[in-house]
Structure 1
Amino acid sequence: MTGEINNLGAQIPAAPQLRSAMTGELLRLLQPQQALLAPGETAKAEVLALRQVGQDFQMLLKLTQDNGKQTNVQASSNQPLAQGSQLAVSQSSSSNLTISVQQAIASNVASLTRIDTREMPVGTLLQGKVLTSQTLPQVVGQLAQFRSLVSLLSGPQAGATLTIDSPRPLPVGSLLSARVQGDQSLTFVPLSGRQEQLAITQHLSTQQSRQASLQGLLSALQQVRDDNSSSSELRATVDKLLASLPDVRQLSDAKGVAQALSNSGVFLEAKLVAGLPANLAPDLKAQVVRLVAQLLPGLPGNAQFNPSAAASTLAQVMPGMVRNALGMLGQVSPRPQPGGFPLPSRLLQSQDGEGDLEHLLRLAAAAISRLQSHQLASLEQTGTTADGNLQTTWQLEIPLRSGQDFLPLQVKLQREETPEQQADPERERRDPLEMLWRVELSFDLHPLGPLQVQAQVSQGALSSQLWAELPSTAQLIEGQLGNLRERLLARGLNVTELHCHHGTPPQGTGTRLEQRWVDETA
């Protein structure tokens, strides 16, 4: 389960509604059967198993006729019926069963809508598996609600099915833990930090194998923009995306840097959760997702795809064809080490028999994966350090416009707070520079070659190391460090260390960024 589900709200007793609503409901037989029941005959049916397939609910039913004959049949319905539910059905056609006389035996429905606190006192920890998830009719002015059937795996009522309403959907097949708050209320208990980190690492390893550098997509988009054979709508989308990318001058002041970080795509989901509009034009990830939605209808065999509906959610703009493209990317090269910074450069070549549109779609899908890799790396490196401090990480990538070229700038920001700083009631009003900050930059600037920067700021003191892969660039930068030191001092920073090295930063647990380059207490 994800940590998004913070509270499982109070339940409304559903049994009376179920009796009336389900009477006359049709169950569609997966395999039509003639004369399963005689005309006018009613048989008892028990739900032996339940699973959700898309928006439908498939059930295995055991029919027991008056003469004692029993038959197992598979049926589907628009409404879920919990395992163990007792029904009375008649056959209306060879393809359907009609639920009848539901009122007489509805008391045997196995789905719990309340918790017996005598058997499960307040504070009891329950574990369950989500069987179904459906959206409830939304009331004007109220938040959306989702109803799920959860099979209890522990406690005195293990094996029973619990009906849960929650403000967010529970993924079908997921496991959850919840603590009893009352007879109609549960509170979700998140997974342990170790389990969450393990899940993030696993996702990151998979996602990084699918990603490719942003340069490939941006170069392809420039060709689309200059190709008069492309549709005017596609060229307009491409123009808007390329024009929204910042240039080096924009990063010369704090406001421009903040705007570039905000539009990098790493905060897209947070913006959507906060209620901001889905058409976040400057956001890089949102624009690439819209590009995917616009490309898909033009692919062979995908004529029924609706781009206007797909733009509403990220899931809808990543259908099977894009997932297949991402899967193909995972077979191209071995997976890199999760959590590494910077992400390695990786370009995709057009495959044999692949059209321009398919290749452009693969590039867009790989770009989305790269942005998601940065997001997962941020989560992986966020948490409590061995010293008990809270470390928060933001890792992202900003493609900078430089003439007709693009310079991908990879950025990693880390903030570290001591327990005392976290508990300080004046925390929000204090100078942010009182906390420990780390900054890492990686970029390849022609003709200087690949460069990496690591800097640490704490209590107004700055220490920094620079690495250049070209010897001539390392020598050039070393000769300019005095000027850089003066400019930093003029900004009010106390520069304690400033060096440039030839090569790349050392890797490994012994040289992790968490270690201080300068120990001010020494």
Structure 2
Amino acid sequence: MTEINSLSAQSAFAAQVAKASLTGELLRLTQSQPGLIPNGETAQAEVVNLRQNGADFTLTLRLMLPDGRPVQLQANATQPLPPGSQVTVGQLDSSRLAVAVQQASASNIATLTQLDTRQIPIGTLLQGKVLTNLPLPVEAGQAPAFRALVSLLNSSQAGATLAIDSPRPLPVGSLLSALVQGDQSLRFVPLSGRQDQLAIAQQLLTQQGRQASLPALLGALQQLSSAPSADPALSASASRLLASLPDPAQLGDAKAVAQALNNSGAFLEGKLLAGLGSGVAPDLKAQLVRLVAQILPSVPGNQALTAATLAQALPALARGARGLLDQVGNRPQPGMFPLPSRLLQNLEDTGDLQQLLRLAAAAISRVQSHQLASLQQTGTTETGNQQTTWQSEIPLRHGQEFLPVQAKLQREETPEQHADPHRAQRDPLESLWRIELAFDLPPLGPLQVQAQLSQGRLSGQLWAERPQTARLIDSQLGSLRERLLARGLDVGDLACHPGAPPQGPRTRLEQRWVDETA
């Protein structure tokens, strides 16, 4: 892949591939096909693939013969016909086809010479693959210029071919990413940013293969904290971690919710970079890392390991736990919300530090899966808006049990809002906010919530897997509406459905970084 930092605005493209000079243009078949099209007759063909070979082009044609039979063949040409082009051809001899009807062919060539900003708004991130690249005639004193055909890989125009002019040659087969600046202007984005996103997606897949649910570890720590034979320092760490977990009653206060999210582990690296040492102590991920550092020296074969070597030890540790984790079930898809439950064998003996180590490593991977999912879903949407995502998991103490609540918050801003230097002082309700929650609350069973807040108007959907729970919640929606109205919110639709939300690709960002056909 080639990194391209800038590209000049498109010029009006005179449809070189569709001009009238196509009359009599020959397509040379790569293999002789005698009698393919009867003398004096024509056939309809569609270009399904285009590849540039130096100054010539190789086309793959899907030909519909006069007798109704389809056939696919390859031909060489001196002019590029973009994929999707519909042409009418006749056969001159066993190895040559001629474009027979120039006007019909020209009107059907699917090449965009400008963008419809109603379908592809300004700010949209376009991705494409370079099909062809040819130098343009240059007059004396002018800078060289090149014309390329680019197959679009995303947006509502995916599959169409875009003609662009560039002051430099674009390598055939390279993948490009560009922001729409106008109907005839693109600003190309360095591929380093796209490579970062690809690295995030790959790392997310790895972490999700290692992770396991938090309650298994928390239950083991609860057992450890009350065991008289446990190591005192390890038992104290387990007690501190459990004491730092909020209970459901505490989350009735907005400040307590904010504090719980802040300590969920999603922001540990940000705190460390900002030098907020005092805010790290109650952080869930920080406590899990400290716990692993305490366990490692006591595990047989790891006596020489110390906290200083923890960073090097964790990857190998995770790989050791991964073999067991991979047997639990299928891996979740990257970006999936909520993360499904994955359980390891519970701790049967408080002295089984190897199993405790596996549980702690899997818990760290679960936190990191949420962090990577946040990065994966942060960026520019197809509409050009800036989307920021925060995804985390808050374990709650519920009696002697632990209730993990998964949360995803998204803020979406227009380019103008995002570019505002005073946005920190701006009313946060100007942005579009989305929130998703997922938890399993006894005796109600698994529940999911999806809500949207825009300009002070709140709407929401709830899903309950148990039909009786769905009926109960539905009967209480009127009371919920009244309480929300009393808080000053304009309430839109509220509904509860039995079952679970539709699954599948649900992130609002374009995630297709690689052309599968490349």
Instruction: Give the TM interval when normalised to the shorter protein.
Output: 0.5 to 0.7
Report the alpha carbon displacement of residue 402 of structure 1 after superposing the two structures with TM.
1.4
Question: C-alpha separation between the residues in 1 aligned to 2:231 and 2:239?
Answer: 12
CA shift in 2, pair 1:508/1:323, >3 Å? closer
Secondary structure of 2:277's match? coil
Which residue is 1:504 aligned to?
A: 500
Distance (Å, rounded) in 1 between the aligned partners of 2:272 and 2:313: 15
Residue 324 of structure 1, CA deviation: 2.2
Deviation at residue 201 of structure 1 after TM alignment: 1.0
Match of 1:358 in 2: 354
Q: Which runs of 5 or more residues in structure 2 are unaligned?
A: 1-188, 510-518
Q: How does 1:18-417 map to 2 (within 5 A)?
A: 191-277=191-277, 280-307=280-307, 309-310=308-309, 315-316=311-312, 318=314, 320-326=316-322, 328-330=324-326, 332-349=328-345, 356-417=352-413
Which residue does the alignment assign to 2:446? 450
Counterpart of 1:273, as a letter, is L
Q: What is the letter of the counterpart of residue 295 of structure 1?
A: I
- Over residues 140-177 of structure 1, what are the superposed CA-to-partner deviations in whole Å (9 max), with x where a residue is unaligned? xxxxxxxxxxxxxxxxxxxxxxxxxxxxxxxxxxxxxx
Contact persistence 2:394–2:405 (CA under 8 A): yes
Whole-angstrom CA distance in 2 between matches of 1:220 and 1:353: 9
**Maintained 8 Å contact 2:377/2:508:** no
Question: For residue 291 of structure 1, what is the amino acid of its counterpart?
Answer: L
SS in 2 for 1:475: helix
Distance 2:295 2:380 in 1: 42
Give the letter for the 1:466 counterpart. Answer: L
**Mapped partners of 2:420, 2:400: distance in 1:** 49
Q: How much has 1:322 moved relative to structure 2?
A: 4.5
Residue identity matched to 2:366: R
| Post-superposition offset of 1:507 | 1.9
SS of the aligned residue for 1:195 comes to helix
The counterpart of 1:419, out of the listed 415, 440, 460, is 415
SS of equivalent to 1:264:
coil
Conserved 8 A contact 1:299-1:358: yes
**Structure 2 residue matching 1:318: 3-state secondary structure:** helix
What is the distance in 2 between the residues matched to 1:359 and 1:190? 45
Residue aligned with 1:452, SS: strand
- The 1:254–1:350 alpha-carbon spacing in structure 2 relative to 1, beyond 3 Å, is closer
Contact 2:297/2:306 (8 A) holds in 1: yes
How far has the Cα of 1:455 moved from its partner? 0.1
Paired with 1:481 and 1:406, the residues of 2 have a C-alpha distance of 27
- Asked if 1:490 corresponds to 2:495, the answer is no
| Per-residue Cα deviation, 1:458-483 (whole angstroms, up to 9, x for no partner) | 00001100000000000000000000
Tell me the CA shift for residue 192 of structure 1.
Answer: 3.4
CA contact (8 A) 1:289 1:317 kept: no
Preserved contact between residue 272 and residue 280 of structure 2 (Cα < 8 Å): no
C-alpha deviation, 1:317, in angstroms: 5.9
CA distance in 1, matches of 2:260, 2:295: 26
Say if 1:206 and 1:335, in contact at 8 Å, map to a contact too: no
SS at match of 2:447: strand
What is the aligned counterpart of 2:436 among 440, 462, 468? 440
CA contact (8 A) 1:378 1:394 kept: yes
Where structure 1 has 5 or more consecutive residues not aligned to the other structure, the ranges are 1-188, 515-522
**Matched residue of 1:442: which SS?**
strand
Q: Structure 1, residues 270-319: CA drift from partner, whole Å, max 9, x if none? A: 11111122882210000011000000111111221223x35xxx625626
The answer to whether the 8 A contact 1:272-1:278 is kept is: no
Are residues 280 and 327 of structure 1, via their aligned partners in 2, closer, same or farther at CA, if it must alter by over 3 Å?
farther
Q: Is the 8 A contact 2:263 2:282 kept in 1?
A: yes
TM-score by length of 2: 0.59
Cα distance in 1, alignment partners of residues 467 and 508 from structure 2 = 24
CA 1:231–1:190: 2 relative to 1, 3 Å = farther
* C-alpha spacing 1:197/1:331, structure 2 compared with 1 (3 Å): farther
Displacement of 1:339 in angstroms is 0.5
Answer yes or no: is the 8 Å Cα contact 1:326–1:365 preserved in 2. no
Change (3 A) 1:319 1:471: closer
Larger RCO of the pair (alpha carbons < 8 Å, separation 6+): 2
Aligned to 1:476: 472
| Residue deviations 1:16-70 (CA, integer Å, cap 9, x gap) | xxxxxxxxxxxxxxxxxxxxxxxxxxxxxxxxxxxxxxxxxxxxxxxxxxxxxxx
Closer/same/farther in 2, CA of residues 421 and 289 from structure 1, 3 Å limit: same
TM-score by length of 1: 0.59
Mapped partners of 1:415, 1:363: distance in 2: 33
C-alpha deviation, 1:196, in angstroms: 2.0
1:239 counterpart letter in structure 2: S
* C-alpha distance 412-279 of structure 1, shift in aligned 2 (>3 A): closer
- Aligned partners of 1:322 and 1:361 also within 8 Å: no
Equivalent pairs: percent with the same residue? 69
Q: Distance in 1 between matches of 2:404 and 2:282?
A: 17
Conserved? CA contact 2:429–2:455, under 8 Å: yes
